[in-house]
Amino acid sequence: MNQETNVQEKEARVRQPWTAQRVGDILLNNALLIIMAIAVVYIAIKNPNFIKPASLINILSQTAAYLPAALGIGGCIVLTGTDLSAGRAVGITACISASLLQNAANMANKMWPQIGTLPIPVVIVLAMLIGAAIGCFNGFFVAKFKLHPFIVTLGTQLILYTVLLLYVQQGNNKGMAISNLDPSYTGFVKGSLFSIGGTPIPNYVLFAIVLTAVMWFVWNKTTFGKNMFALGSNEEAARVSGVNVFGVTVGVFALAGAMYGFTGFIEGARIGSNTANTGLNYELDAIAACVIGGVSFVGGIGKIRGIVIGVVMLRLIFVGLTMVGVPQDLQYLIKGAIILFACALDMRKYLVKK
Amino acid sequence: MKKTLAILLSAVMMLGLLAGCGSKTTEQPSTSGTENTETAALNVGVFYYDYSDVYISSVRSSMDEQLKAMGVNYTNYDGAGNQAQQTDQINTAISNGANLLIVNIVETSSPDAAQNAVEAAKTAGIPIIFFNREVSDDVVNSYEKCAFVGTNAPEAGHMQGQMVGEYLLENYDTVDLNGDGVISYVMFKGQEGNAEAEARTQFGVEDANAVLTAAGKPELAYYNASATDKYLVDQGGKWSAQAANDYMATILPEYSEANGNMVELIICNNDGMAEGAVSALQGAGYNTGDGKTIPVFGVDATDSAKQLINEGKMTGTIKQDAEGMASTILNLVSSVQGGGNLMDNTSSFNVDEGVAKIRVPYATYTGE
């Protein structure tokens, strides 16, 4: 009798691995979404405020603010690279945007009193062009001298910091924070066209949606996007099949730069006070978001959808941990653990394939 | 099998993480106010500009202690020296039902970030108390439920300058290492554009000079005569010991006793920087408690600085009373808790005229 049950159990165990593996695969492939769902449910039970409209819109807005930089940096990671200069690029474009869009009514606090308040579209284009120029600079060194982007952008990051430090001391500013922003600028970024449940949705959420759509199109529907993935998976193969390696590399970095420029334009108004420290460490959050979202450092792998999930995930951690009342001292640990954990789970997908 | 194990393990880990958070929250008084159903149930959000700031940490532990004693629900936030992060935290706290904000604003060189926070509080109709890092009068006056608790920024600089001057008069010849009759000094500034840093940098030297000249001594001389700025600033704006340490370690090989141009006096905007400078000096064999000591002055009177002073490795500091700061803030909180206004019970404090700003006094500290 006893033996029989033992045998039955053994048989069951022999059969089990198949179902377990199937379940396991499904779990693994959707690990991030599952973790996110568990986290959301848990936080919502712990603290019902978490799923109130005001809180959801808060998460949405924060996601929107950090999304463009992550979308940009994602391309660099697809090329097996990275971009450490993103934060400073955001800082410099934020300071430039803010300094060009100061309130002319208050001349004493205006950085460039001789220049009036420029039209907003001009400043957006300018910020994106400056960002793109920084990106081109990075891309040039990467493509021309075959330097690893980590090295190139580490250099650029430091160079940009000097530019930033010098810029905030120019004109009337003397190293102070650049603020006194024109209402048209803050209104354009922080104002809102419509609201849900009485909480207004800031405009930069809409910009982020548009940018995501544009980036999705670029990544998936254009030759440029296809070349980027080809180059990321195998440079030699791409070169042999006629991909312009130099052009694509510079293009990807320039596109990323333009995204930082746009982030800078948004952050300038969103934070309202721009210093040499603005944008500090943005690249780290952006890289973390991409990697969490399955953009692999192996190269050639990544989806826009994943990046969006990654950014949302980071914001959920940020908002959720405070909402369940985790002491702030422990939050860095948990954030780090979740990043590692999420990435390890995600990488298993590719390890299994190999 | 392995895979199953891996999945199980990861599931357990995840649960462990979440459970970890859960059990913590039950001990913390900082959970949402659901279990506390009193009418005046406060849900306080306390926003520190940077946990890594030593003085702010001491304010934080006093605040935690006193808030717990009051039985108030509170949540602490670390702005990590990043205004963007703090702005996000404030919005998150408000959406989480915080009904009183205590803000140690990150960005002090322009009023816009503080104004942003006030607007957010105004929209939610909740009181907001700024502390330590000064916000402008306009910001405080723009909302009736807004107040500021801090020190009078220039006062610390004045007191530090006074202390430096008096110390030099007493010990002039010992301090003047090369015997040229002039004291050469270096000034470490915490941050560009911060009102407190500006005031300390200016008055720490000016007032010391005033004391010296009144006694017929020459003014202090900056160690590097060709420098345009008479200070070295933490370029990260974090008032960090590391910045002062790096600067000092760079200065020492060039300016030494052997060269007859040793820096003879070090004035720092805060104790963190003073400690950084002391540690660099120790690397060169000074300020070890016995032997030669270069006078180093700070501000804040953090525990570690006080210890250095008592061991004879540092000379003096200005006491920013962390406990007094916390109890003053908590006085405002208890007024709100009792259903009153922020500034109801503040007659015993030193309040600015025409604006709800309370000044916590400083004191000098040169050892026990």
Answer yes or no: do B92 and A322 touch at CB < 8 A. Answer: yes
A5-9, A49-53, A291-295, B268-272: which is most confident: B268-272
Question: How high is the pLDDT of residue B23?
Answer: 38
B92 and B175 inside one domain: no
Q: Which residue of chain B has the CA closest to A52?
A: B95
pLDDT in tens, B184-212: 999 999 988 888 899 999 999 999 999 99
d(CA B290, CA B311): 9
d(CA A50, CA B134): 32
B123 interfacial to chain A (CB closer than 8 Å): no
Answer yes or no: do A55 and B95 touch at CB < 8 A. Answer: yes
B313 and B197 inside one domain: yes
B63 and B112 inside one domain: yes
Answer yes or no: do A55 and B92 touch at CB < 8 A. Answer: yes
CA distance B205 to chain A (A): 21
d(CA A113, CA A100): 10
d(CA A242, CA B241): 54
Answer yes or no: do A49 and B97 touch at CB < 8 A. Answer: yes
Ramachandran angles phi, psi of B46, nearest 5°: -110, 120
Which chain B residues are closer than 8 Å to A325 by Cβ? 21, 24-25, 28, 30-32, 75
B204 and B346 inside one domain: no
Q: Which residue of chain A has the CA closest to B81?
A: A277
What residues in chain B have per-residue pLDDT under 70? 1-40
Which chain B residues are closer than 8 Å to A270 by Cβ? 84, 87
Which residues, other chains included, contact B102 with Cβ-Cβ below 8 Å and sequence gap of 6+?
B44, B45, B46, B47, B63, B128, B129, B131, B329, B333
Residue A101's SS3 state is coil
Which chain A residues are closer than 8 Å to B30 by Cβ? 325, 327
B136 and B272 inside one domain: no
pLDDT in tens, B279-338: 999 888 899 888 899 999 999 888 888 889 998 999 999 987 888 899 999 999 999 988
User: Has residue B129 been placed in a domain?
Assistant: yes
User: Has residue B11 been placed in a domain?
Assistant: no
Does the predicted model carry a pTM greater than 0.80? Answer: no
Answer yes or no: do A325 and B31 touch at CB < 8 A. Answer: yes
Closest CA to A33 of A301, A333, A292, A318: A292
Closest CA to B257 of B188, B178, B180: B178
Answer yes or no: do B110 and A178 touch at CB < 8 A. Answer: yes
Question: How high is the pLDDT of residue B54?
Answer: 80
A11-20, A108-117, A196-205, B145-154: which is most confident: B145-154
Question: How high is the pLDDT of residue B39?
Answer: 44
| Contact predicate B219/B213, CB 8 Å | yes
Tell me the pLDDT band of A98, cut-offs 50, 70 and 90.
Answer: very high
B19 interfacial to chain A (CB closer than 8 Å): no
Q: Which residue of chain B has the CA closest to A199?
A: B95
Q: Which residue of chain A has the CA closest to B30?
A: A325
Question: How high is the pLDDT of residue B290?
Answer: 84
Question: How high is the pLDDT of residue B18?
Answer: 46
Q: Which residue of chain A has the CA closest to B26?
A: A325
User: Has residue B222 been placed in a domain?
Assistant: yes
d(CA A49, CA A56): 9
Closest CA to B176 of B233, B227, B218: B218
Residue with tokens 């805060």: B270
B193 and B127 inside one domain: no
B50 and B169 inside one domain: no
User: Has residue B314 been placed in a domain?
Assistant: yes
Give domain limits for chain A: 70-280+297-302
CA distance A190 to chain B (A): 11
pLDDT(A142) > 80:
yes
pLDDT in tens, A55-88: 888 899 999 999 999 999 999 999 999 999 999 9
Answer yes or no: do B193 and A322 touch at CB < 8 A. Answer: no
CA distance A43 to chain B (A): 9
* A52: nearest CB among B30, B95, B112: B95
Question: How high is the pLDDT of residue B340?
Answer: 87
Answer yes or no: do A329 and B51 touch at CB < 8 A. Answer: yes
**Into how many domains does chain B fold?**
2
CATH code of the domain in which B159 resides: 3.40.50.2300
| Token reading at A6 | 């033992």
The average pLDDT across A7-32 equals 67
pLDDT(A335) > 70:
yes
Which residues, other chains included, contact B231 with Cβ-Cβ below 8 Å and sequence gap of 6+?
B186, B187, B188, B189, B201
d(CA B187, CA B297): 10
Q: Which residue of chain A has the CA closest to B123?
A: A199
Answer yes or no: do B193 and A329 touch at CB < 8 A. Answer: no
| Interface test mutation site (partner A, options B96, B126, B233, max chain A beta carbons within 10 A) | B96
User: Has residue B81 been placed in a domain?
Assistant: yes
* A273: nearest CB among B75, B97, B112: B112
User: Has residue B350 been placed in a domain?
Assistant: yes
Q: How many CB pairs below 8 Å do chains A and B form together?
A: 152
Question: How high is the pLDDT of residue B192?
Answer: 83
Which chain A residues are closer than 8 Å to B107 by Cβ? 177, 271, 273, 275
* B237: nearest CB among A16, A277, A341: A277
| Token reading at A352 | 């299994």
| Token reading at A253 | 């970095």
Answer yes or no: do B97 and A178 touch at CB < 8 A. Answer: no
User: Has residue B351 been placed in a domain?
Assistant: yes
Answer yes or no: do B115 and A272 touch at CB < 8 A. Answer: yes
B82 interfacial to chain A (CB closer than 8 Å): yes
Which residues, other chains included, contact A94 with Cβ-Cβ below 8 Å and sequence gap of 6+?
A263, A264, A265, A267, A268, A271, A274, A278, A279
User: Has residue B206 been placed in a domain?
Assistant: yes
B330 and B287 inside one domain: no
Q: Which residue of chain A has the CA closest to B117?
A: A271
The three-state (H, E, C) secondary structure of chain B, written as one string: CHHHHHHHHHHHHHHHHHHHHHHHHHHCCCCCHHHCCCCCCCEEEEEECCCCCHHHHHHHHHHHHHHHHHCCEEEEEECCCCHHHHHHHHHHHHHCCCCEEEECCCCCCCCHHHHHHHHHHHHHCCCEEEECCCCCHHHHHCCCCEEEEECCHHHHHHHHHHHHHHHHHHCHHHHCCCCCCCCEEEEEECCCCCHHHHHHHHHHHHHHHHHHHHCCCCCCEECCCCCCCCCEECCCCCCCHHHHHHHHHHHHHHCCCCCCCCCCEEEECCHHHHHHHHHHHHHCCCCCCCCCCCCEECCECCHHHHHHHHCCCCCEEEEECHHHHHHHHHHHHHHHHCCCCCCCCCCCCEECCCCCEEECCEEEECCC
State which residues form the domain around B308.
154-320
Q: What is the dihedral of CA A72, A77, A78, A81, to 10 degrees?
A: 120
Answer yes or no: do A176 and B109 touch at CB < 8 A. Answer: yes
Answer yes or no: do B25 and A326 touch at CB < 8 A. Answer: yes
CA distance A110 to chain B (A): 12
B23 interfacial to chain A (CB closer than 8 Å): no
Answer yes or no: do B28 and A270 touch at CB < 8 A. Answer: no
B189 and B302 inside one domain: yes
B163 and B219 inside one domain: yes
Q: Which residue of chain A has the CA closest to B57?
A: A329
ipTM: 0.72
Residue with tokens 């006193």: B66
The average pLDDT across A297-310 equals 90
CA distance B86 to chain A (A): 9
B313 and B330 inside one domain: no
Question: How high is the pLDDT of residue B170?
Answer: 93
Length of chain A measured in residues: 354
Answer yes or no: do A177 and B107 touch at CB < 8 A. Answer: yes
B229 and B304 inside one domain: yes
B237 interfacial to chain A (CB closer than 8 Å): yes
Which chain A residues are closer than 8 Å to B229 by Cβ? none
Answer yes or no: do B92 and A179 touch at CB < 8 A. Answer: no
Task: Please name the helix (run of DSSP H) or strand (run of DSSP E) that holds residue A165, with its range, or none.
Answer: helix A149-167
